[in-house]
Amino acid sequence: MEQVPCVHCMIFFTPRNRKQNYCKTPECQKARKAAWQRNKMHTDPDYKADQKLSQKKWALAHPGYWKAYRKHNPEKAQRNRILQAIRNRRRTKGQHQDKKMDVSLIAKMDARTSNEFNPIGQFWLVPVIAKMDVRKVNMYAITDRYH
Ligand SMILES: [Zn+2]
């Protein structure tokens, strides 16, 4: 079989069959399972209801877990709040209407005092349309020294 790039890590590998598009590394297999579940949640209402119910049961059996998680992972909690706000907007406005970038969706985080790079702050880069991962980026002001 001819080598193909893994859809997760992009490294070429030899697939066992034409359907295999993730390589066998644990990280890529985890990504494959997560993608499968994401798709299943979107396409199978019964599966989605089952998952929500078992998550609810688990949360009831582990009181305080998510509160402690948010306390110990403030950046992840903030990221989740942003993503939830986006999901809420999509739900109320409809998926295909609101494609214009909304500046209020870009949350400014952890602004710092200036150094030689003149940073503006740290931001979450949240893709609204394209399917890609959310990334944390540092933004810097660019000054033109030649004028
Ligand atoms: Zn891979």
Instruction: Express each pLDDT in 22-78 by its tens digit.
Output: 999 999 999 999 999 999 999 999 999 999 999 999 999 999 999 999 999 988 888
Residue 12, strand partner residues: 5
Rounded distance from Cα 63 to ligand 1 centre (Å): 36
Quote the ligand 1 centre to 14 CA distance (angstroms): 11
pLDDT of residue 87 exceeding 70, the answer is yes
Taking the alpha carbons at both ends of the chain, their separation in whole angstroms is 59
Distance from the alpha carbon of residue 34 to the mean position of ligand 1, in angstroms: 14
Chain segment 92-140, per-residue pLDDT in tens: 765 554 444 454 555 555 555 444 556 677 676 765 555 566 667 777 7
Q: Which tokens in the block code for residue 124? A: 């979450």
Q: What is the pLDDT of residue 116?
A: 54
CA-wise closest residue to 127 among 82, 96, 88, 91: 82
Tokens of 61: 């059996």
Element (H, E) at 31: helix 26-43
What pTM, to 2 d.p., does this model score? 0.50
Q: Give the number of other Cβ atoms within 10 Å of residue 32's Cβ.
A: 18
CA distance 109 to 139: 11
Distance 31 CA to ligand 1 centre (A): 9
Of the pLDDT bands very low, low, confident and very high (cuts 50, 70, 90), residue 83 is confident
